[in-house]
Amino acid sequence: MNMLASEVESYKEALLPLVPGYKAWCDTVVCTPYVLLPATVCVFKDTGVGVGAQNMSQFKSGAYTGEVSAEQLTDIGTEYVIIGHSERRELFGETDESVNKKLIAALDAPLCPIVCVGEKLEQREAGVTNDLVTKQVEEALTGITKEQLSRTIVAYEPVWAIGTGKTATPEDAQEVCCLIRNVIASLYSKDSADAVSILYGGSMNDKNAFDLLAQPDIDGGLIGGASLKPASFAVIINAANQ
């Protein structure tokens, strides 16, 4: 919940000159609060940078005051949506079941969903990370076809590393991202799993991005605070393009 619509243009002007090669192969997406989306879609039009929402409703329409549907997002030009972010799960009671329903609604819109999974510190310390993440992935993908999977992105974000400045080591992050890919392979096929982009989203920044992105099963980052600073975000984008 950062920035104003009036700041989007200056953000773009500060960011894009710093990432001349960002379209080499790395998909770059900016996900903003709802009220910034129209301005963001307009400002980033024809730049190659995608625009996404940070959340959406599982419902198509109706008496759900304050909610925003997938169709409403696509209608204004939104292409992506984050689903099941740890803050949505922790602060607003989202569950694996609601994540699955939102995923289905997003794919039907169609939007490109970025589905988040990850464990809390006490769960990691209890040694249940693998079981928990496996359950989250399996339940999120319930009823999702192989074709729909090909349009889905998965983000591993250890809750204990969100907004804390703490980051999983590259080896720890790789271990869980590899687990996620193996779970997807068991549900679909190895080829399908290999084609899914798996992101790491726990305090990735301009200092650690290169080492994290060098891991074989980390295909990109779900960037939080570092994305608010164009200079820092540019370093991460350029690291992804290497």
Kindly give, in sequence order, each residue whose CB lies less than 8 Å from that of residue 98, ignoring residues fewer than 6 positions away.
58, 84
Q: State the DSSP string of 158-215.
A: -GGGSSSS----HHHHHHHHHHHHHHHHHHS-HHHHHHS-EEE-SS--TTTHHHHHTS
Report domain extents, the chain.
5-240
Q: Span 79-84, mean pLDDT?
A: 98
Backbone phi, then psi, for 50, in 5-degree steps?
-80, 160
Query: Which of the listed CATH numbers 3.20.20.70, 3.40.50.300, 2.40.110.10, 3.40.190.10 matches domain 5-240?
Result: 3.20.20.70
- Amino acid, res. 3: M
Q: How far is CA 88 from CA 43, 52, 145, 198, in A?
A: 27, 16, 25, 20
Cα→Cα distances 163→18, 139, 175, 183, Å: 25, 26, 21, 27
Instruction: Tell me how far apart the alpha carbons of residues 209 and 237 are, in angstroms, rounded to a whole number.
Output: 9
pLDDT tens digits for range 116-164: 999 988 898 899 999 999 999 999 999 999 999 999 999 999 988 776 6
What is the pLDDT, as a whole number, of residue 67? 97
Q: What is the pLDDT of residue 22?
A: 66
Integer Cα distance of 92 and 55 in angstroms:
11
Q: Is 2 exposed, middle or buried (0-12, 13-18, 19+ CB in 10 A)?
A: exposed
pLDDT at position 163, please? 66
Residues 6+ apart with CB under 8 A from 176: 118, 129, 130, 133, 156, 158, 168
By three-state DSSP, how is residue 30 classified?
A: strand
Quick: pLDDT tens for 4-41. Answer: 999 999 999 999 999 987 676 789 999 999 999 999 99
Q: What is the pLDDT of residues 203-219, one digit of tens each?
A: 899 999 999 999 999 99
* Residues labelled as active-site residues: 85, 157
**pLDDT for 166:** 73
Beta-ladder partners of 31: 52
Would you state the pLDDT for residue 159? 86
